[in-house]
Chains A and B, each alone.
Chain A
């Protein structure tokens, strides 16, 4: 697969950044109900990793799924509509920010719970003798969930075609990794004989290249592999719940993935991309806002019966 050019990388990251910033900007206007977990600062991960996606590959995401969804190719407008509780939303307003299902993209808000599911999807691909693989995203906080290790064992035993991507943004909600994560993250995969690569970077090109050996390993049906990206989120865990040291945030802001990638482009090219993304974001939110609300009459009983 040829690497996306620098402009495509920049555009994809900027789409996520501007979508997420717009969500946070619009929250006080009361357009959204509930909460959200933004991906600001981590864009290079989804974009760098999912640039390797092939048609029919499966992506399993988590509560912080907007970036993964947009990098997967999901529509900005239907994601905005989902967040606004519109009938045109990805899941008709039933799922909201954390529960997105579209084509071969699945997200759920239970940390770790989706990991065995992702492995089951990979096992299905193996049983079907297909050539698809699963990209399973998790954060450092999810490494506290026991079912993850059940899954690593099962996936390694069965040699399932799955790539576990750990986005270590150094905080599980408000708790720094030093208070909740013993040892080193890669060792948790090595214990199951799962090969792992790590990178401490916010450079989309570096991330994209660093994951390649693990992808090759998975695609050649040697079984699961893992990729750990040490990253940082610039925005709060959800909306207004940030207790981190502002100086620390400012320090990481100097490694913002967007300017790093922008520097590889001519200024005119940057501006052109920025303008077109601005328009796309404005259109998406405007259209979503004018879409009809999801109606209570659309609610159905699961299993076709009242419980």
Chain B
């Protein structure tokens, strides 16, 4: 069994092995500490020249990464908590994402910024958020989200070694300890994987009747959605399919559209706040693509900061029960 954490660690190790242009950079990334979430553990011991610890200067280190990338290196910057991505936004939007385009394609910025988003750990308002919605759709910035359905380390390797554009690579704190799910272990599901560099996964209950609802979710939310799909089938006899993208921005929705074309019912699930979020854009695009007759609903975090107390946090973040409830309601819409 490989956890997502081990997979990511292995992915970084592979990058360092395969290219001497790779530099892993971040706060507290050196051994023996090995990073706040231990994704970089062991790397500085084996690649001391290529793993660089930094001051607590998120904007500065992402800017340094932009400069390194512009000059031909493959920097991988760790931002310790996804919440701190706000400190780097100028570097991401005005520098990393712009230079290639505004130079009329004269330069490339092969930068990767990795960060753990997400709550459910009791870390409170500034260490639990899923802030990616603020960066989705920023022209020139790719956003990729790791999932338990595939090899997160390989996804990261592609971003580092094969993508010549800047990538914001999203991890989820709760996913770290989860095992990567081998598809043959998903005995309840049939799984299709698109052949995109950053694939989309399509799951449906094995041997079930035609789905009547399409769910879509990424990252850890996809795990909740997968649980909901199972319980909807076994407890409610509502059959659904689940589309899990890893390529969030630019929006890569063709697999979703083909599923929704059949079901005409779309439920989006995300851990970010609901208003003006990922689900809103996905539904708008589905509506434009498929026209009238689409029924849609969103499950997302409440539009408020994430509280620290466990009971309160659970109330604000989407749970499996919320997804089931929304799906049942949506199945009855006409």
A, B in one complex: yes
Knowing A106-B70, A147-B59, the reply to whether A101 touches B140 (Cβ < 8 A) is no
Of the residues B62, B94, B138, contact of A110 by C-beta under 8 Å: B94
State whether the Cβ of B34 lies closer than 8 Å to any Cβ in chain A: no
Q: Is the CB of A117 within 8 A of B67?
A: yes
CA distance A87 to B314 in the complex (A): 55
> From residue B95, how far is it (CB to closest CB) to chain A in Å?
6
Q: Is the CB of A303 within 8 A of B250?
A: yes
CA distance A147 to B58 in the complex (A): 9
| A130, closest chain B residue (CB) | B71
CA distance A296 to B52 in the complex (A): 43
Q: Is the CB of B63 within 8 A of A95?
A: no
Q: Which of A91, A153, A302 has the most CB of B within 10 A?
A: A302
Which residues of B sit under 8 angstroms from A127, Cβ to Cβ? 23, 73
User: Interface residue count for A (Cβ, 8 Å)?
Assistant: 39
CA distance A92 to B101 in the complex (A): 10
Of the residues B57, B63, B98, B138, contact of A120 by C-beta under 8 Å: B63
State whether the Cβ of A238 lies closer than 8 Å to any Cβ in chain B: no
Which residues of A sit under 8 angstroms from B101, Cβ to Cβ? 94, 300, 302
Interface string of A102-135 (1 = CB under 8 A from B): 1000101010011111111111110100000000
Knowing A120-B65, A307-B137, the reply to whether A95 touches B100 (Cβ < 8 A) is no
Q: Is the CB of B250 within 8 A of A123?
A: no
> From residue A99, how far is it (CB to closest CB) to chain B in Å?
5
> From residue A219, how far is it (CB to closest CB) to chain B in Å?
18
Which residues of B sit under 8 angstroms from A108, Cβ to Cβ? 94-95, 98-99
Which residues of B sit under 8 angstroms from A121, Cβ to Cβ? 67-68, 70-71
CA distance A157 to B57 in the complex (A): 13
Name the segment of B37-45, B103-111, B260-268, B305-313 touching the other chain: B103-111
CA distance A300 to B107 in the complex (A): 15
CA distance A116 to B57 in the complex (A): 10
Which residues of A sit under 8 angstroms from B23, Cβ to Cβ? 127
Knowing A120-B65, A150-B57, A151-B60, the reply to whether A307 touches B139 (Cβ < 8 A) is yes
Q: Is the CB of A146 within 8 A of B59?
A: yes
Interface string of A138-154 (1 = CB under 8 A from B): 00000000110011011
Q: Is the CB of B94 within 8 A of A116?
A: no
Knowing A95-B103, A154-B61, the reply to whether A307 touches B250 (Cβ < 8 A) is yes
Interface string of B75-107 (1 = CB under 8 A from A): 100000000000000110011011111111111
Q: Is the CB of A113 within 8 A of B57?
A: no
Closest 9 CB pairs of A and B: A120-B67, A116-B63, A150-B60, A120-B64, A101-B103, A150-B57, A302-B140, A92-B104, A305-B250
